Each structure stands twice: as C-alpha cells, then as structure tokens.
C-alpha cells in the first residue's frame, strides 16, 4: 500500500470516528462529556433536595407563608421528580447505541442486587448501633433482598426496566419510524398531558414510568429507525 493511500485511509477512519454522534462515542468509552456529567450531578442534587424537604420528618406546610416556604415547596420539593427524569434520561440515551441482550441486562440486575445488598446491610448495621427504634421487622426483611423487595423504589423500577429492555428495544425497532412516533404521541397524551387533569389516569413511580420515558426518548433520537444512506450511486 502506498503512503498516499495509507494516509487517505487513516484520514477516512478518523473522519468516520469523529463524525459519529457525540453520545455514541461516549457510550463506546471513547471519552466523557463534561456537560452531561455536570447535568447528572445537578440531577442528583435535585433529588437530594427533594428528600431533604419531603422526607425529613418536618411538615413544610407548618411554616409561615413566607418566601422561604414557597421556595421549599415549589423549588426543592418539586424538583425531585424532575431530577429522576433527567438522571434516567441520560442513561436511556446511551442505551440507544448498545445492543440490548437478555444476558447482559440480567447481569446488570444481578450486579445491582449485590451492590444494594451491601449498602442495605451497612444501613441496618447503622440502625442497630445508633437508632434501633426505627429498625422494624419490615425493614429487616427488605434489607436482605433490597432490589426484589423494593427497599428503594427507583432501583427496583430500574431493574425491572433493564430486564424488559431487550424486548422493548426489539419491539420499538420492529415498529418502524412512523408507528414509533405515533406510539410516542399516544403515550404522551394518555400519560403525559392528561396527568395534569385531576382524576385522570397517570403513571405513578415505577417501571412503567421509565418505559414511558424510554419510548419518548427513543422516538426523539430516531437512532433505531433511521434509514441507511443510499449508496447505489
């Protein structure tokens, strides 16, 4: 191979590499996007702020109607679900560039179970040493199998989503672009817009909410239903 041809081939390879979508290169381990990592950190702080206000044992509604109460109620208490949506959406976006298999996803779930078991046992030990009054039989049982028993709702919902993701991905790819967009519009109306109407059916916290978000994210991306370029010419 001549030096000229080798140079052209190398440049072509580099061009193809850098022409790939940024989220695709990150998902393949070629680098990290600091903006996305910053967004992930912001989402975590939003979730922490929500827990600080909603789950701290103090009723914010008992505070006088002042600017700080309005801030606690609207900004901090309401930002938890937004943080969860952002956090999950980042993970879901990267799933679009990876082949989803039953074996790999069940392996992820098993790793999650072991990690959560470790931290739940640490939590139980903390309660045994410092606060036995709050350590009831129910918490003890859930701590033995935290993922299966739903000790933390998001982890359990995420595990169920991972187990169903290979089937969901295959189904959405088979739908094609047109029907995928129609499905996204349908679920957006049923579970999105109507959730603002009192008394209407909405999605509560759980794996169905994650599936709903994934359908919308996959439709927006269009990665799976993008037509290949015409090379006949």
Domain contains 88: yes
CA proximity to 223, closest of 99, 100, 97, 86:
97
Domain contains 86: yes
Read off the pTM: 0.73
Are the C-beta atoms of 164 and 207 separated by less than 8 Å?
A: yes
Domain contains 221: no
User: In whole angstroms, what is the distance from residue 48 CA to residue 64 CA?
Assistant: 23
User: In whole angstroms, what is the distance from residue 140 CA to residue 149 CA?
Assistant: 11
CA distances from 210 to 113, 121, 206 (A): 19, 27, 7
Domain contains 43: yes
User: In whole angstroms, what is the distance from residue 174 CA to residue 176 CA?
Assistant: 6
Domain contains 142: no
Domain contains 230: no
Instruction: Please list the pLDDT of the chain residue by residue as tens digits (233 residues).
Output: 544 454 444 444 444 444 444 444 444 445 567 788 898 888 888 888 888 777 776 666 677 777 777 777 776 666 788 888 899 999 898 888 888 899 999 999 999 999 999 988 888 888 888 877 777 778 788 888 888 888 888 999 999 999 999 999 999 999 888 999 999 999 888 877 766 666 655 666 688 889 999 999 999 887 665 544 444 44
Domain membership of residue 66 as a residue range: 14-98
Q: Residue 76 gets which letter from DSSP?
A: I
User: In whole angstroms, what is the distance from residue 5 CA to residue 1 CA?
Assistant: 6
């Amino acid at each position: 191979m001549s030096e000229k041809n080798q140079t052209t081939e190398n440049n072509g390879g580099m061009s193809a590499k850098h022409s790939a979508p940024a989220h695709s290169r990150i998902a393949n381990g070629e680098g990290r996007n600091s903006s996305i990592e910053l967004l992930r950190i912001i989402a975590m702080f939003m979730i922490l702020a929500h827990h600080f206000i909603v789950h701290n044992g103090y009723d914010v509604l008992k505070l006088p109607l002042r600017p700080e109460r309005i801030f606690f109620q609207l900004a901090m208490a309401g930002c938890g679900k937004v943080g969860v949506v952002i956090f999950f959406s980042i993970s879901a976006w990267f799933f679009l560039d990876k082949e989803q298999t039953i074996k790999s996803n069940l392996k992820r779930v098993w790793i999650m179970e072991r990690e959560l078991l470790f931290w739940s046992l640490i939590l139980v030990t903390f309660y045994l040493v410092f606060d036995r009054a709050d350590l009831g039989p129910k918490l003890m049982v859930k701590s033995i199998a935290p993922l299966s028993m739903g000790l933390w709702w998001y982890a359990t919902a995420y595990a169920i989503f991972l187990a169903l993701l290979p089937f969901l991905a295959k189904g959405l790819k088979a739908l094609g672009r047109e029907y995928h967009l129609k499905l996204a519009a349908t679920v957006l109306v049923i579970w999105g817009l109507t959730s603002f109407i009192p008394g209407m059916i909405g999605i509560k916290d759980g794996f169905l909410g994650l599936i709903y978000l994934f359908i919308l994210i996959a439709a927006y991306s269009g990665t799976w239903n993008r037509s290949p370029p015409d090379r006949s010419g």
